[in-house]
Structure 1
């Protein structure tokens, strides 16, 4: 599987050197090393210096979007299903400084508060066969897009303008539809569900959706004549309106919630879209906490279908956790536009390898005393049977000396900059 995924986009490299480096890069992301930056990946690959890895991300000639397309095709061939779900979400990487593309003080769920961070919007694909991430966009705040000099320094193309996160998500959904990714549904959290433009975009593609919305979201009822807050709608429901159903299997068994479904909701944008609008409400059986979903389907749907899609949204959070803990999605130390997209694309390739291997193993007859192979366990086995770490003392010593020499030069340059600044009148 490792060789097959890497071979799928090998033709995107015009020269053998970057092609081999890309193979070593993805293999390094799967390796059992503490931090997955160019320095560590180069040492793992047996290189004498990090130049080749850095060149792959900065100056080598290759198209990260084309590699993304090839990778998406591999994923579709393995996980594709007519009832597939496109799942949208974002994740942030905490950063220092102000030079990394897209960085500013902004809210990120990674920290649960406003921090200096870089945010990426991702598209996942999920079906009964498996799930993983298939696309990515870096989010550029207004503070970036209004400062073209700053964008130029970070390599942001001149044609890139400000786009909201729902607009980035809509762009990825359109790309997936244009690439014939088999999907019938879209799921996302309330950052996207609250966007009427995003919902309208999905309806234009005739994609059913189950999108989380805020408790204050106004739900159009009675033919659109009145709009009621979602939490007020829930408060007026009788006990008979709730049904207990599973939103899918979790690590501890089925995830049961109480669900209420109002199928008389109308649209506040286009009453002639010929689809079925509804409001889905989820209640935690232990805490009573409520969650709300705006739903739309081109044809009639069942409660079981909507509950399934609502539950599948959590696969993107699982994918983020695996991508960061297993293949270093958040460990890059790059600043430029191209470098972010290149590193992220190669990380998605490494994640796809793990996801497909885990899915292949899950197809084997189950054993009563073993759980199915997880993505984490697959990576451990890859390191045990495929990736051979270099133990030669001379190689390790050369890298120790290289790091210390590089750090000494960096420290000296830092001291000189501070001294020159202090001497300025």
Structure 2
């Protein structure tokens, strides 16, 4: 066993003892499986522990998974709660300090320095995104502009007047900003060099489009409110996977159906264990994010495994006529069609208990009726090639689909 593996195992053994001693959900689940802290002698032993799921977090609402005394908690964040009550995420002061360290490390990995002017275009509040970037950027000495989400005209004048060099937002909103900058001929008046994007699954094609429109570098960021917030993993300039802090996170992948562990490099569901969290440690948390773990050395020189670009989520997957369809696959197909913007959504209707999918996308410029039909046919052809099935297509006029200030809503179930 390498020194890194020994250190990881010691950390995992420690966190297992911690959750066992809280006498809550974890202890009950471990007792049901007949596994005790003293049984964990190897990484393989650790992988015999039961998983933690989003439902476990909901069932333990509000603070049933708290692993320290409540008077140690100095902060309470929450998930968006889009599928029910939000998940509360408590932090001790040490948790906050670790978050700052992880976020600063991620920003350095992305290439942010103390010379940068960093504009944070994310909502401040219960959501972890904005404050995580805020902490990290301040810790490395960058000038922070906490501009928050939305208010596009304000974002643009702040970029120009403060000479912003780096910004963070969701990918879909970054694309919207890029369109505005190009439309109003603002590019030459800005000092942008880098965008750090995350919060939703997106394709390299969308990143390339934003890079070309703005003449900047686009970097992929990964985080989850339940695990820490942003600061879990970050791409470097090599753009060959996202680096994560091995002292704080243990990553594995499993087959989403059988839940059996997968070998590094195999595509499956990402499972994360927090090694050092005091208030809200999670053991083998099923993220529902689909990816693989990269072990080949990165050209940037950083060591350790990396997370490949997240292709989507288990719960985003649609089954259309027996074929698994992810929004990211649709986006990749649309990106290859000249004449489309990458603003789109998927409408799902049920006909005789069978789901039917319509891809609603947007033309880059106003078209005649014949031009719209030609673009529709071309789009339908590319989707058929990518997905293997024929999909209904609607072409909307430019700038008519909703632009989201936060996460894009890609799938809409229509009655």
Larger radius of gyration: 1
Higher share in helix: 1
- TM-score (norm. length: structure 2): 0.29
- TM-score (norm. length: structure 1): 0.29
Higher share in strand: 2
Higher relative contact order (CA 8 A, sep 6+): 1
